[in-house]
Amino acid sequence: MTTAPDEERPTGSGASDASAEQAVLDAAGDTVDDVAERELSPADVAAMESLDIPRRLLLVHAHPDDETITSGATMALYAAAGAQVTLVTCTRGEKGEVIPSPLKHLEGDDEALAGHRVAELAAAMEALGVTDHRFLGDGARDDDGYPAPVRYSDSGMAYDDNGNAVAAPDMAPDAFAVSDVDGAARHLVRVIREVRPQVLATYEPGGGYGHPDHVQAHRIAMRAVALAADPAGAGEPWQVAKVYWLVGPDDEVSTVVDASEHVEAKAAALRAHATQVVVGDGTFSLSNGLTQPLRGVEHYRLAVGEARPPADGGPETDLFAGLA
């Protein structure tokens, strides 16, 4: 039998290279095992799951019921289409007026009304098919680099002699309307960087009709969009591609979302907000008693990003138009 020459045996530098490669593979395997065994926080899991969903919409509203009145059909439309729809509500609406007599005892009892409206909001979100709802300031962790959890209080509202909404004369010093904008925005930044929405919707600068909490929600949302894109601070930066303001059907409208097929879901969600809304046959009314049509067509104004109207003209019809 002929013995192979020494130079054909796996010795010398070749063997060393093979050993080094195996060491790298072993180390990589250990790393994978460590990651697989590591217990992820709920926030980490939520962030990973949300990024599996191609379309992600974040809405910022001031009180329970605001979301359904202004954008409920839109929320139901995108949720039904498989998009990630996240709602951030800034207060629990504890200063709201209560319409039905059987629930009138809740008015003026801030804690009782807040608890009831939280339950109403949960029922409304179920009706709209929205599974991700948070209150602004909730959920911060001691080690995540953001402000500690805080609860923002409904500021209440009054009307001036011209019928315009203004701050209540007895507004508390810790009311949401006078909260520190940067501090509150940092709570929203945490949500933005976790959810990574391509689209964010909130009020226009006047808050729709001047409610001080709506105006403050607008300020905080816009500040948070800017801060979330800044590499400084905790978390990975995220640039929201399109920001929409909720507006009525006027010359400021850039985008009209026709979610008429989800108007029944919107009606069910409005009924869930029983302390605040009376729903009729194709109509609804608030504490002012004015009857309004209950429609599934909702209007927006593009404030950040590029509009992509249909080729045949007219306003945009999709909040995600132009986004991959």
Domain count, the chain: 1
Phi, psi for residue 156 in degrees, rounded to 5: 75, 180
Does the pLDDT of residue 18 top 60, yes or no? no
Name the band, by pLDDT with cuts 50, 70 and 90, for residue 17.
low
Residue 3 in any domain: the answer is no
- pLDDT value, residue 248: 86
CA atoms of 222 and 304, how far apart (whole Å): 10
**Predicted confidence (pLDDT) per residue in 269-285, tens digit:** 999 999 999 999 999 99
Does the pLDDT of residue 57 top 90, yes or no? yes
Residue 232 in any domain: the answer is yes
Residue 25 in any domain: the answer is no
Q: Among residues 125, 130, 172, which one has the least CA distance to residue 151?
A: 172
Strand order in the sheet with 291-293: 278-279, 283-285, 291-293
Residue 28 in any domain: the answer is no
Instruction: Identify whether the C-beta of residue 175 lies closer than 8 Å to the C-beta of residue 156.
Output: yes
Angle at CA of residue 322, ends 202 and 306, nearest 5°: 60
Burial group, residue 118, by CB count within 10 angstroms (0-12, 13-18, 19+): middle
DSSP strands (E only) in the chain: 56-61, 84-89, 132-135, 158-159, 165-166, 199-203, 242-246, 255-258, 278-279, 283-285, 291-293, 297-304
Residue 15 in any domain: the answer is no
For residue 39, give the 3-state DSSP assignment.
Answer: coil
Residue 310 in any domain: the answer is no
- pLDDT value, residue 36: 40
Q: What's the CA dihedral at 91, 78, 194, 66 to 10 degrees?
A: -10
Question: Can you tell me which residue has the tokens 């990975």?
Answer: 236
3-state SS, one letter per residue, for 126-138: HHHCCCEEEECCC
Residue 321 in any domain: the answer is no
For residue 86, give the 3-state DSSP assignment.
Answer: strand
Instruction: Identify whether the C-beta of residue 208 lies closer than 8 Å to the C-beta of residue 183.
Output: no
CA atoms of 177 and 162, how far apart (whole Å): 21
Q: Which helix (H) or strand (E) holds 32?
A: helix 13-37
Residue 257 in any domain: the answer is yes
Residue 8 has which token pair?
Answer: 């054909």
**Predicted confidence (pLDDT) per residue in 218-250, tens digit:** 999 999 999 999 998 777 899 999 999 999 888
Question: Can you tell me which residue has the tokens 């929405």?
Answer: 197
- Report the CATH number that the domain containing residue 151 is assigned in CATH: 3.40.50.10320
Please provide the average confidence, as pLDDT, over all residues in the chain.
87
Q: What is the mean pLDDT of residues 72-93?
A: 98
- Residue 266: how many other CB atoms lie within 10 Å: 29
CA distances from 145 to 49, 88, 102, 186 (A): 22, 20, 45, 10
Residue 143 has which token pair?
Answer: 């080690």
What range defines the domain where residue 185 resides?
Answer: 54-304
Poorest-pLDDT segment among 1-5, 51-55, 119-123, 138-142: 1-5
